[in-house]
């Protein structure tokens, strides 16, 4: 079984896929898409081509554990995605994933301007990695 991590964003969404044994994150990439409906279709297409059996969608909570407007958008996207596929969707607390992703890119010598191209893929990897650690 493979699992796909999703870091949903308004313009860019990071996707990451586990290996078949759910031990490691195998690949990660970014989809540039503003239209949530088109994005959901693309994610379903990517999931079907990779044999995905579960989605882990990052849920951005505030540091105090409450949910704000961004979390609501993610829940709405989860409902949209769920209407297009029978693949189960798990909402995963992603507090600090984007901050950690920027720190990882910075530590590896990436310039701030170039973070935009890859930070969402790294964040999706961190979301998936966190979930895989609970299995």
Could you tell me the CA-to-CA distances from 107 to 27, 70, 94, 104 in Å, in that order?
20, 27, 20, 5
Give the residue extent of every domain in the chain. 2-132
pLDDT of residue 97: 54
What percentage of the chain carries pLDDT values higher than 70? Answer: 81
Structure token digits, residue 113: 């301007």
Mean pLDDT of 37-58: 97
Of the pLDDT bands very low, low, confident and very high (cuts 50, 70, 90), residue 113 is low
pLDDT of residue 64: 77
Structure token digits, residue 131: 């979930």
**In the predicted model, is pLDDT for residue 32 greater than 70?**
yes
Mean pLDDT of 27-42: 95
pLDDT of residue 8: 95
CATH code for the domain defined by 2-132: 3.30.420.140
Using CA atoms, how far apart are residues 102 and 110, in angstroms rounded to an integer? 9
Mean pLDDT of 99-128: 65
């Amino acid at each position: 079984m493979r699992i796909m991590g999703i870091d949903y964003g308004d313009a860019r969404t990071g996707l990451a896929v586990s290996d078949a044994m759910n031990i490691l994150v195998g690949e990660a990439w970014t989809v540039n898409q503003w239209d949530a409906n088109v994005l959901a279709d693309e994610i379903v297409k990517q999931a079907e081509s990779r044999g995905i059996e579960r989605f882990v969608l990052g849920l951005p909570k505030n540091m105090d554990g409450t949910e704000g407007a961004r979390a609501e958008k993610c829940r709405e996207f989860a409902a949209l995605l769920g209407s297009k596929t029978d693949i189960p969707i798990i909402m995963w607390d992603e507090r600090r994933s984007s901050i950690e992703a920027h720190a990882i890119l910075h530590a590896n010598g990436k310039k701030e301007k170039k973070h935009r191209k890859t930070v969402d893929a790294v964040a999706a990897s961190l979301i998936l990695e966190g979930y895989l650690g609970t299995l």
